[in-house]
Amino acid sequence: MSEPFGASIEFRSVSKSFPGTAAPALTELNLRIEAGELMVLVGPSGCGKTTTLRLINRLIEPTSGAVLVDGAETTTHAVEVLRRDIGYVIQHVGLFPHRTIAQNIATVPKLLGWSASTIAERVDELAAEVGLDHDLLRRYPAELSGGQQQRVGVARALAARPRILLMDEPFSAVDPIVRSRLQDELARLHQRVGTTIVLVTHDIDEAVRLGDRVAVFATGRLAQVATPDALMAAPADAFVESFLGADRSLRRLALRTLGQLVDRTHTPDAASEVRLDAGLPGRSAVDALLASGADRVAVTESGRVVGHLTLAALTRLLATPDGHT
């Protein structure tokens, strides 16, 4: 990871009740998000994850408790000042329909009073960064596809190099293929830029795929915070367990490549057995074992067998909390 210049975020006993609703949206939330971390907030609808996100840039004010960015309460400065240092991407993108793509991306730099030439340079840089064709910059949002609009949304959010990026279901309005590509790009972008990212989703697959850590919300409370692997290895309670689904062992195996799982002590033999490349996800070994009926598969690197995996070995791996041998 590059120099993490992102800011830390801390919730101290934050509660939020909306007028006219009986149950609080959020009860006594305590959560620390480290600088440069990609934290995913996940849970069913109405669990308080979006409320939590919007508390960070003060689109929602807490009923009680405090939200801190880099150790300072978010109420220290004018709300506009806070927000201009926090990027924000939402499911419905919310591009300004009357402004060109370039003007949309330039929104916050313009509010901050950057010079026209600096802005133009930054817009070009961002277009390249998020994979937007340069010709699109002069178009209006209505002329772009959903996937392209979402890229513009990300570029606009990152324009003034915010130290925090908030994303509310950013990929749920695009089709699965585009979604998967955008998720990969976000992971790479996070590696490169080092911004703290808080991402809200209801999709547990997206959560474990993207998150450095995952915070699972039940109705108005934080049920568990953990790395994806630790989460699936040891759900804190029945709610988390049911939310993770019945196939969390397979999901856990999907987080690792065969190369990371393989037992390299075995001597290679038996030319007839199933061979899988080390770069494949762990669950492909389970698939191959089930399909072939064999008791082990061979794992190869550049075509050379480097070791084997058996069902028993996979079971042992899953039994260890951190999933390592």
Least distance (Å) from another protein to the CB of residue 94? 3
Closer to another protein by Cβ: residue 107 or 224 = 107
Tell me how far apart the alpha carbons of residues 315 and 189 are, in angstroms, rounded to a whole number: 34
Tell me how far apart the alpha carbons of residues 274 and 289 are, in angstroms, rounded to a whole number: 8
Least distance (Å) from another protein to the CB of residue 253? 33
**Residue 127 and residue 105 in contact, taking contact as beta carbons nearer than 8 Å:** yes
Tell me how far apart the alpha carbons of residues 86 and 103 are, in angstroms, rounded to a whole number: 18
Tell me how far apart the alpha carbons of residues 127 and 91 are, in angstroms, rounded to a whole number: 20
**DSSP conformational letter for 76:** S
* Phi/psi at 157 (5° precision): -70, -30
Closer to another protein by Cβ: residue 14 or 106 = 106
Tell me how far apart the alpha carbons of residues 36 and 30 are, in angstroms, rounded to a whole number: 19
Least distance (Å) from another protein to the CB of residue 234? 36
Least distance (Å) from another protein to the CB of residue 97? 6
SS3 (DSSP) at 300? strand
Least distance (Å) from another protein to the CB of residue 317? 39
The half-sphere exposure of 239 on its side-chain side, counting CA atoms within 13 A, is 14
Closer to another protein by Cβ: residue 79 or 116 = 79
Closer to another protein by Cβ: residue 88 or 239 = 88
In Å, how far from its chain's centre is CA 286? Answer: 26
Among 305, 314, 311, CA closest to 267: 305
What are the distances in angstroms from CA 151 to CA 10, 39, 147, 182?
A: 28, 20, 6, 8
Tell me how far apart the alpha carbons of residues 25 and 23 are, in angstroms, rounded to a whole number: 6
Q: Which two tokens mark 19?
A: 């007028």
Closer to another protein by Cβ: residue 119 or 314 = 119
Least distance (Å) from another protein to the CB of residue 123? 15
Least distance (Å) from another protein to the CB of residue 227? 29
Closer to another protein by Cβ: residue 84 or 266 = 84
Closer to another protein by Cβ: residue 57 or 300 = 57
Residues that bind another protein (CB under 8 A): 57, 59, 79-84, 86, 88, 90-100, 107-108, 111, 131-133, 135-136, 139-140, 142-145, 147-148, 156, 166
